[in-house]
A and B are shown apart, each in its own frame.
Chain A
């Protein structure tokens, strides 16, 4: 029961701060709400007994990536960014449509059952970093290595699209 209450708190803050990230006019505020979002996602990981993921979430996302975000936002012209509209004039209709779909999903999930609850994709002795590493390098070796290629493609893409036009 207490677990569910804590989860409800984390989930509610995650949803609210995610909405605030995209609706705030000042980009610095958006980034701050994103920080709040990342903290609460880490909280959900703790609830799921994934302490290592929670720590990584905090160190990598909240610690490193968000600071970079903040630097970029501050280097941009906050004044001009704040002027731009955050939504077009159809947003009440679209929000209503989204709420209907969310309601439908909630209804279906409440009426359904989850027979797989509590089952794990992989059975390991503990949930420590060592077990995680063993699983990543054995059963999930292929997905793990694909993700490294994905990161490389992201890197190439970012450099490709952002680098200055030089001798061409």
Chain B
């Protein structure tokens, strides 16, 4: 009996990082009872320790590649790369949350538990080798984030955000399941490799195949906030607690791209001829709508929401370009995007002080005079989001557009660069407000060691990747071996 139990635990080895994250989440819920309300941040630090342990396990397991549990769970460099991105997003998210939750008076242990559950869902999505485990990982992530979006129970905007996200998320899940069930009806298997084997010998002119592919694009379009499936984004990003918005704009979006890459660069590769056209079209309108709508925003959270739509568009350009270079450029881009976007939200969070909401762009007036450090950090993140060298954002966009040109889609790259130029208007406007306008009123920025640490990590990453991109790029290139 003992030996079979030991054998069973040995079999669980590939799942250790996920198990660590889930165990930490469960113990956070328990420890929550014993921690005073003033000391809830301890639970955040405890969660961070769990993330570090899981990350070290993921790195250790990177030598062990293959498919486990009957093909439902994959361990490959591709999954490991994305898991490290999720740890980064979750870790930064927890660091920028601690002080903010105190100010909003919503500091409860469930917050950290839900962040960890969402992270474990993303990890399972990146590792999924089967449509069923893919869908369940996605639901685990989505369900946790619906609750987080509505975490400020007494705030009507937060309630609205939670409800809207839940309803539209449920619809997109329904569409996804329909597409998956058609794919299952066609191939007779839910295994991603099995579907690829089937497609290689199948009649690709079958309209049902096309239908299921379109449904998958639609549903993942919802998750990564691509136009025309972006309607929920501005309201949800504005209404959710800012720390959740930061996490939501990074984690689920990166996870969505992990799945998009796994499905469109691997499972549905034989359909590339059709999928490229659709993805390129969506990429173009996503960049257009995101960048143009962002110009008109006065609320910084709404502006960053539209900016996150536009950035999904850039990443979709790389996905449409396809091939090894396209996939590597998307992987590099989503990582850079996650770090710089969370950095920008970290500065926005500093403006939220007791009594001051700090969500309007005019609230940034004169920040360059009253708080030089915060304004300078915001400057770096906004430059990076615009894509100005030597920040990381430039490198990300450079490789995306380069892969599009190499794939013979020069027009898409030109459109991307044009809209990228338009985006400079609304990013630089914030910088102008910070440095050219006089301070409206005196108020103190919120400062905490955790927030400072998060901003330091983000700014270091943005500059280091910007100056020396080959390290991360080579890592991304090496990581696609598993899928292509």
Contact = CB atoms under 8 A, between A and B. Distances in A.
Contacts of A116: 184-189, 198
Contacts of A118: 188
Interface in A142-168: 142-143, 146-147, 149-150, 152-154, 156-157, 160-161, 165, 168
Interface stretch (B109-117, B333-341, B399-407, B470-478): B109-117
Contact of B150 (A111, A112, A143, A161): A161
B209 A157 contact: no
* Interface residues of B, dominant DSSP: helix
A113 B70 CA distance: 28
Nearest to B37: A168
Contact of A160 (B73, B121, B147): B147
A138 B68 CA distance: 11
A119 B188 CA distance: 5
Given A114-B185, A149-B22, A140 B72 contact: yes
A140 B208 contact: no
A109 interface: yes
A141 interface: yes
Contact of B144 (A109, A139, A140, A153): A153
B38 interface: no
Contacts of A165: 153-154
A165 B153 CA distance: 9
Contacts of B361: none
Nearest to A117: B185
B110 A156 contact: yes
Interface residues of A, number: 33
Interface string A115-135: 111111100000000000000
A108 interface: yes
A115 B113 contact: no
Contacts, number: 114
B410 interface: no
A113 B143 CA distance: 35
A4 B88 CA distance: 52
Nearest to B215: A105
A114 B182 CA distance: 9
Contacts of B143: 150, 153-154, 157
A116 B187 CA distance: 5
Given A105-B211, A121-B189, A121-B190, A160 B72 contact: no
Nearest to A160: B110
B140 A138 contact: no
Contact of A143 (B108, B130, B147): B130
Interface stretch (B131-139, B224-232, B274-282, B346-354): B131-139
B73 A113 contact: no
Interface string B179-211: 000101111111100000010001100111111
B206 A112 contact: yes
A109 B140 contact: no
Given A109-B208, A157-B143, A143 B132 contact: yes
Contacts of A115: 186-188, 198, 202-203
A156 B354 CA distance: 28
B411 interface: no
Nearest to A139: B70
B295 interface: no
Interface in B203-254: 203, 206-211
B222 to A, nearest CB: 16
B15 interface: yes
Given A111-B207, A153-B147, A160-B147, A146 B140 contact: yes
Contacts of B318: none
B136 A108 contact: no
B291 interface: no
A115 B209 CA distance: 11
B23 to A, nearest CB: 11
B120 interface: yes
A152 B120 CA distance: 13
Contact of B120 (A105, A108, A149, A154): A149
Contacts of B140: 146, 149-150, 153
Interface string A70-91: 0000000000000000000000
A119 B185 CA distance: 8
Contacts of A117: 185, 188
Contacts of A105: 211
Given A150-B136, A156-B110, A161-B147, A108 B15 contact: no
B162 interface: yes
Contacts of A143: 72, 130, 132-133, 136
Contacts of B186: 114-116
A105 B210 CA distance: 11
Nearest to B106: A168
A120 B188 contact: yes
A156 B208 contact: no
A119 B184 CA distance: 9
A112 B72 contact: no
Contacts of A140: 69-70, 72, 132
B299 to A, nearest CB: 25
A97 B291 CA distance: 28
Contacts of B72: 139-143
A113 B188 contact: no
Contacts of A150: 136, 139-140, 143
Contact of A146 (B113, B133, B146): B133
Nearest to B120: A149
10 contacts: A108-B208, A113-B206, A115-B187, A115-B188, A140-B69, A140-B70, A152-B117, A153-B144, A165-B153, A165-B154
Please name the 7 residue pairs, one residue from A and one from B, whose CB atoms are nearest each other, closest first. Answer: A119-B188, A116-B188, A112-B208, A139-B70, A157-B147, A108-B207, A146-B136
Given A112-B208, A161-B150, 12 more contacts: A112-B206, A112-B209, A113-B203, A113-B206, A115-B188, A116-B198, A142-B72, A146-B121, A146-B137, A149-B117, A157-B144, A160-B147
